Amino acid sequence: MNLDAWAYEQLLGLRQAGTQRQYTPVTIDGPWATVDEERRLNFASNDYLGIASDPIIRQHFHSEAHFSASSARLQTGTHPEHLALEHQASLWWGRPVLSMGSGWHANVGVLSTLANRDTTVYTDRLVHASILDGIRLSGAHLRRYRHNDLDHLAELLATHSPNDRVMVVTESIFSMDGDEVDLAKWVEITKIYPHVITVVDEAHAVGVTGPRGRGVAAREGVSNHIDVLIAPLGKAMASVGSFVGCSEPVKDLLISTTRSFLFSTALPPIQAAWTGYALDIVSRADDRRGALTENQHLLANGIQSVTGQDTSRCTHIIPILVGENTKAKHLASRLQALGWQVMAIVPPTVPERTSRVRLSVRADMPTAAIHEFLNDLRELWTDQTLT
């Protein structure tokens, strides 16, 4: 069987399972997305604060920086803009910072560097795929505790002797369920064992919560008890790339040995300049964070009223659980036809039989439009009997 025939066979299986994916080109205008010439309120964006799509903010950004670094960081790819960004980010986050090409680069690189075959790594069952890939590349022993079940984590850690090399990794806000780990309790459990390495991915938290948008760890006052913080920048931070916050020795080790840093062209200097510009805005965006909180409460309460699903632990990410792949896709399609840009999330992104329509809330969404969306959802939910 040649490659094309094999690919066709694989695609046929995906179509039959309802898990084939296709991208859709869009034009963005603030909280609105134009898809196939239809203007829809965009519930599928991670631009939580509305900074990336704010035309006024973009108009005020000016830089003479190069459009390409044209080299890896350790060759001739470290420009003044990269150093300025890392200095600015370290003052903001209160720890040394290394910038990397993406959240994926950071998770895969950091975990494959800091864990090894002598390490047992515990992760929440629902952590991002990039975390799992980084652990697999490290050769470490991967064990997963039940989602947000910190008592289960404590039981697992208690099986280790003081000399065992152990790492614990979690997201602070989970990307598909939208709930948040009790990070203060998580730290309390892990710091019982002084040699445990702790890593927290704040992808969906930085910019959104905490003093000056520094994330859940800063909000809970536990940053100093976490070895490595990772902040992908493509969401509320309105850019691309990632910050890795750690100690100076760990930063130096990552620079010398992390393959996703060593063997990848550096981010364009102009992108680093934009990230610094956006970071300054994010750090002063309490008004946007307040508006986001109001919108997420409005939408979460409405979803609970319509579907009966408990949204009390949801953040600015709110899933509508449907179950079957085809039903989730059908609900998303019907909502899109009514002017709402929503996406069905199906396996393997989420576990089997937990397909959903995932809603991302934005600070700049009009309140009236959220009410209209909830009215449309109520009619569809009743018609489809998707409960």
Measured in whole angstroms, the distance separating CA 59 from the mean position of its chain's CA atoms is 27
Q: Name the DSSP letter for residue 208.
A: T
If you search the block for the tokens 């939580």, which residue do you land on? Answer: 48
Rounded (10°) CA dihedral 59, 60, 63, 69: -60
**Residue 128 bears catalytic tag:** yes
Q: Among residues 201, 202, 220, 364, which one is catalytic?
A: 201
Instruction: Characterize the bridge pairing of strands 197-201 and 228-232.
Output: parallel
d(CA 158, CA 6): 47
| C-alpha distance from residue 155 to each of 138, 144, 189 (Å) | 24, 12, 10
**Residue 46 bears catalytic tag:** yes
Rounded (10°) CA dihedral 336, 340, 341, 346: -60
Q: Among residues 45, 46, 53, 102, which one is catalytic?
A: 46
Q: Among residues 175, 223, 239, 242, which one is catalytic?
A: 175
Contact 269, 81 (CB under 8 A): yes
**Residue 235 bears catalytic tag:** yes
Using a 10 angstrom Cβ sphere, with 0-12 exposed, 13-18 middle and 19 or more buried, the burial of residue 55 is exposed
Q: Among residues 204, 251, 316, 329, which one is catalytic?
A: 204
d(CA 238, CA 220): 24
**Residue 310 bears catalytic tag:** no
d(CA 41, CA 310): 24
Q: Taking the chain, what is the end-to-end CA distance rounded to the nearest angstrom?
A: 43
In this structure, what are the phi and psi dihedrals at residue 302, rounded to the nearest 5 degrees?
-65, -45
d(CA 112, CA 199): 12
**Residue 29 bears catalytic tag:** no
Contact 184, 226 (CB under 8 A): no
The residues, ordered by sequence, that sit 6+ positions from 219 with a Cβ below 8 Å of its Cβ are: 209, 210, 211
Give residue 116's identity as a one-letter amino acid code. Answer: N
**Residue 195 bears catalytic tag:** no
**Residue 66 bears catalytic tag:** no
Q: Among residues 47, 86, 171, 180, which one is catalytic?
A: 171
Q: Name the DSSP letter for residue 387.
A: -
Q: Among residues 82, 105, 128, 316, which one is catalytic?
A: 128
Q: Among residues 82, 105, 235, 316, which one is catalytic?
A: 235
d(CA 325, CA 345): 8
Query: What's the sign of the alpha-carbon dihedral 180, 359, 58, 54?
Result: negative
Catalytic residues: 46, 128, 171, 175, 201, 204, 235
